[in-house]
């Protein structure tokens, strides 16, 4: 595995005169899971979209192995799981998977029960949790070296949460993953490193006490 590194530096975003992100820096290596924490509305989703390339910041610099990346979604460099459903209606899961999944890992992907049991269905035949699991499975099995996961533990059952954790940990062996979710305990359980987005800046988090110090959680 190449130990590639994704860097996002000097990220600034302003909406209606309010600075959402101010000089944000983060880096993520292949083989690790970076947890991104922060209160609702602090700009976590915006930051992921800037890295992915669908939101233009006032200023940004995103690179992989020190090579500038303008639009991360081009050339299968970065994949992104948004908060909302993105798989279209009316198309069977197998057809969508064939378009998204890395052929080299098809056998491994297609062995997952949630895909195997629902591959001939469209989204209308799925529960919300199954829909979310399939979106995540296809995203994590794409060709992208770096994966951005926005609220992966939301709108799924407790059993599905545990299945998703196992999947994320397995794929992180060969991918760099940045994950954010308001169910922060799940993020803590799977992450190798933590960042807190606070007042537009990212802060390194060494332990739970740091989260208390910055007011993210109570004692």
Position 156 pLDDT exceeds 60: yes
- Mean pLDDT throughout 127-144? 95
Q: Residue 93 is part of a domain; what is its CATH number?
A: 3.40.50.300
Nearest partner of 140 among 176, 113, 114, judged by Cα:
176
pTM recorded for the entire structure? 0.94
Return left, alpha or beta for 12; rule: phi > 0 is left, psi -120 to 50 is alpha, else beta. Answer: beta
With respect to residue 218, please indicate whether it lies within any of the assigned structural domains: no
- Mean pLDDT throughout 147-157? 94
pLDDT attached to residue 132: 93
pLDDT attached to residue 1: 56
- Mean pLDDT throughout 7-22? 91
CA distance 132 to 164: 10
What's the pLDDT tens digit per position in 64-119? 999 999 888 888 899 999 999 999 999 999 999 999 999 999 999 999 999 999 99
- Mean pLDDT throughout 16-33? 93
Q: What is the 3-state secondary structure (H, E, C) of 4-26?
A: CEEEEEEEEEEECCEEEEEEEEE
With respect to residue 63, please indicate whether it lies within any of the assigned structural domains: yes
With respect to residue 164, please indicate whether it lies within any of the assigned structural domains: yes
More confident: 129 or 17: 129
In order of 57, 103, 161, 166, 202, the CA distances from 77 in angstroms are 19, 16, 26, 23, 23
Position 152 pLDDT exceeds 90: yes
Tell me how many degrees the CA angle 27-30-31 measures, rounded to the nearest 5. Answer: 115
With respect to residue 219, please indicate whether it lies within any of the assigned structural domains: no
Q: What is the 3-state secondary structure (H, E, C) of 154-185?
A: CCCCHHHHHHHHHHHHHHCCCCEEEEECCCHH
Nearest partner of 47 among 75, 10, 86, judged by Cα:
10
With respect to residue 208, please indicate whether it lies within any of the assigned structural domains: yes
pLDDT attached to residue 56: 87
Give percent of the chain with pLDDT exceeding 90.
81
With respect to residue 11, please indicate whether it lies within any of the assigned structural domains: yes
Q: Which residues constitute the domain of residue 122?
A: 5-213
With respect to residue 140, please indicate whether it lies within any of the assigned structural domains: yes
Provide the number of structural domains found in the chain. 1
More confident: 145 or 207: 145
Q: How confident is the prediction for the chain on average, in pLDDT?
A: 93
Position 5 pLDDT exceeds 80: yes
- β-bridge mates for residue 7, sequence order: 27, 63
pLDDT attached to residue 111: 97
Please state the separation of Cα 45 from the chain's center in Å.
9
């Amino acid at each position: 595995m190449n130990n590639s590194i994704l860097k996002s530096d000097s990220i600034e975003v302003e909406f209606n005169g309010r600075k959402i992100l101010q000089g944000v820096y983060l880096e993520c290596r292949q083989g690790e899971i970076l947890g991104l924490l922060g209160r609702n509305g602090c700009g976590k989703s915006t930051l992921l979209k800037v890295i992915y390339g669908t939101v233009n910041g006032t200023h940004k610099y995103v690179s992989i192995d020190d090579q500038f990346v303008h639009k991360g979604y081009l050339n299968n460099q970065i994949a992104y799981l948004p908060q909302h459903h993105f798989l279209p209606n009316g198309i069977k899961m197998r057809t969508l998977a064939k378009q998204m999944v890395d052929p080299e890992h098809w056998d491994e992907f297609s062995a997952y029960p949630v895909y195997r049991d629902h591959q001939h269905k469209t989204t209308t035949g799925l529960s919300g949790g199954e829909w979310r699991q399939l979106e995540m499975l296809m995203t994590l099995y794409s060709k992208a070296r770096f994966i951005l996961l926005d609220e992966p533990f939301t709108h799924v059952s407790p059993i599905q949460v545990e299945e998703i954790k196992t999947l994320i940990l397995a794929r992180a062996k060969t991918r760099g993953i940045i994950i954010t979710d308001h169910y922060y305990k799940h993020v803590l359980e799977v992450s190798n490193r933590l960042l807190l987005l606070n007042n537009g800046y990212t802060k390194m988090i060494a332990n739970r006490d740091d989260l208390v110090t910055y007011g993210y959680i109570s004692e």
